[in-house]
Amino acid sequence: MSEFKLLVTGCNGRMGQAVISAAEAQGVAVGAGIDVGGSLPEALAKCDCTIDFSSHHFTDELLAESLRQNKSLVIGTTGHTSEELARIKDASKTIPVVFASNFSVGVNTLFWLTRKAAELLGPDFDLEVVEMHHRMKKDAPSGTARTLVEILADVRGLEYDTDCRHGRFGDVGARTPKEIGVHALRGGDVVGDHTVVFANIGERVELTHKASSRDTFAGGAVRAARWLEGKPAGLYDMQDVLGLK
């Protein structure tokens, strides 16, 4: 049997470089890496699975080529439009895809704790999500913050689009119980901080995760790629990979 090989897309970027190091550390071969201007069909032909940390503008091309070559896919890129998200879902009916807004064990534990805390604390607590990332990050709020809000909205039976307020500026009036606030801070070299605030009259609970290295995301993505080997078509996330479901 030939050796399992990874294609790393966005290979010159911060995460791409971290994935190449993580693959080496886990003894997984990188068959090819491409960045802007590279030939995807040629690179993918040499590999079994792609790990993508590039741009959501690249996702359609990556899905089409992965479908054409019947190759599995790990998508770490964030900032997708709802149409692009629908196309990821569609492709996963034919090929196995792991799509995760965050690949760290700590953040996936935060996802679990957030659901539990929202269920236990009940509807009297106001919900706010605050994230901070480095000055170069393009999308806001982060994919991880969006996942946290989706979890909170699911527990409360709210709609992500209509019940989430991104920041508060000007005369926006008092906070309503049917509202989840999302706040994105940008600056310096912060790898990724996320806090979920549950605030009631007289008390407050805060759950915080702080990433200090990209290696935690990169290592998780390589683990996800290995986990996908032999899996049937489907849309998986990091909770599946970690066995948390």
Which residues contact ligand NAD by CB under 6 A? Answer: 9-10, 12-16, 34-36, 53-55, 57-58, 76-79, 100-103, 139, 143, 217
Task: Compute the least distance from the CB of residue 205 to ligand NAD, in Å.
Answer: 25
Task: Compute the least distance from the CB of residue 28 to ligand NAD, in Å.
Answer: 17
15 among annotated binding-site residues:
yes
Nearest CA to 55 out of 9, 124, 91 is that of 9
What is the residue-wise DSSP string for 14-54?
HHHHHHHHHHHHTT-EEEEEE-TT--HHHHHHT-SEEEE-S
Task: Compute the least distance from the CB of residue 53 to ligand NAD, in Å.
Answer: 4
Task: Compute the least distance from the CB of residue 38 to ligand NAD, in Å.
Answer: 6
100 among annotated binding-site residues:
yes
Residue 236's Cβ-side half-sphere holds a number of Cα atoms within 13 Å equal to: 27
What is the CA 85 to chain-centroid distance, rounded?
A: 12
Task: Respond yes or no: is residue 133 known to be catalytic.
Answer: yes
The nearer residue to ligand NAD, 36 or 244, going by C-beta atoms, is 36
194 among annotated binding-site residues:
no
Task: Respond yes or no: is residue 57 known to be catalytic.
Answer: no
Give whole-number Cα distances, 91 to 79, 165, 237, in Å: 18, 31, 15
Task: Compute the least distance from the CB of residue 215 to ligand NAD, in Å.
Answer: 11
Region of residue 122 (phi > 0: left; psi between -120 and 50: alpha; otherwise: beta): left
The nearer residue to ligand NAD, 103 or 198, going by C-beta atoms, is 103
Query: Which tokens belong to 177?
Result: 């119980």
The nearer residue to ligand NAD, 43 or 158, going by C-beta atoms, is 43
Nearest CA to 100 out of 243, 240, 245 is that of 240
Nearest CA to 96 out of 74, 77, 64 is that of 74
Place of tokens 């895809």: 97
156 among annotated binding-site residues:
no
The nearer residue to ligand NAD, 35 or 126, going by C-beta atoms, is 35
10 among annotated binding-site residues:
yes
What kind and span of H or E run contains 161?
Answer: helix 160-163
The nearer residue to ligand NAD, 46 or 57, going by C-beta atoms, is 57
Among the options 137, 183, 194, 209, which is catalytic?
Answer: 137
Determine the residue with CB nearest ligand NAD: 13
Q: Could you give the CA distance from residue 135 to residue 146 in angstroms, rounded to a whole number?
A: 19
Among the options 71, 80, 133, 194, which is catalytic?
Answer: 133
103 among annotated binding-site residues:
yes
Active site residues: 133, 137
Binding site membership: which residues?
10-15, 76-78, 100-103, 134, 143-144
Binding site membership for NAD(+): which residues?
10-15, 76-78, 100-103
